[in-house]
Chain A
Amino acid sequence: EPEVTQTPSHQVTQMGQEVILRCVPISNHLYFYWYRQILGQKVEFLVSFYNNEISEKSEIFDDQFSVERPDGSNFTLKIRSTKLEDSAMYFCASSVLAGENEQFFGPGTRLTVL
């Protein structure tokens, strides 16, 4: 069964460093998303991406964040200068069409900022 994959599974970084979280969505999907979940809290939407551009972003997704689909398979989330409060699980998701269809989530990357 097709699945969304994410690498690395765990990333440890120093405050102020740049990190890139990588995702490989399901191959025929058109919509891509990033969510995050701070330990013990709700899953929060960060950004959605369609047709090589951001279609919606939340207030969390400020200038420190960026997304890119550098080739036909990868979808990345970059955090330019990490803060302690960026420590969280980051989930990538993908879907075929907006509206009715389900989103498929990856297993997540645990980001720890020291």
Chain B
Amino acid sequence: DAKTTQPNSMESNEEEPVHLPCNHSTISGTDYIHWYRQLPSQGPEYVIHGLTSNVNNRMASLAIAEDRKSSTLILHRATLRDAAVYYCILELSNFGNEKLTFGTGTRLTIIP
């Protein structure tokens, strides 16, 4: 499986934008870039995913580098509820199974 590298932790002030980086230099052409997050004492939760183009949804934006070797999850206005561990995961697009391989992620702390 292609690996991802994320900072162990980050802090951000409430109501400010947060940029969470992820490096995936060995990404293959068919790997999708997925972001999940895990709030304290909860199961993981899907945030966003993309292949090549930048993506936006109600939760966040995903900016993907042109060479796809890195990506950035953008929370436009962090709230206390966004404090969580954020995981950047590469996933093959093959049909049939969809195992998620979680790393250690980035623990995001929001400062009130």
Contact = CB atoms under 8 A, between A and B. Distances in A.
Interface bin, chain A:
20 to 34
Contact of B98 (A103, A105, A108): A103
B93 interface: yes
Given A91-B43, A107-B42, A99 B100 contact: no
Interface stretch (A12-20, A41-49, A68-76): A41-49
Nearest to B99: A45
Given A42-B104, A43-B102, A55 B44 contact: no
Contacts of A31: 97-98
Contacts of A93: 43-44
Residue from B42, B94, B99 whose CB has the most chain A CB atoms within 10 Å: B99
A99 B44 contact: no
A52 B5 CA distance: 35
Contacts of B100: 33, 35, 43, 45, 103
Given A106-B43, A107-B42, A55 B96 contact: yes
Interface of B: 32, 34, 38, 42-46, 49, 87, 93-104
Interface of A: 4, 31, 33, 35, 42-45, 48, 50, 55-56, 58, 91, 93, 95, 97-108
9 contacts: A43-B102, A45-B101, A50-B96, A58-B99, A93-B44, A97-B95, A98-B94, A105-B43, A105-B44
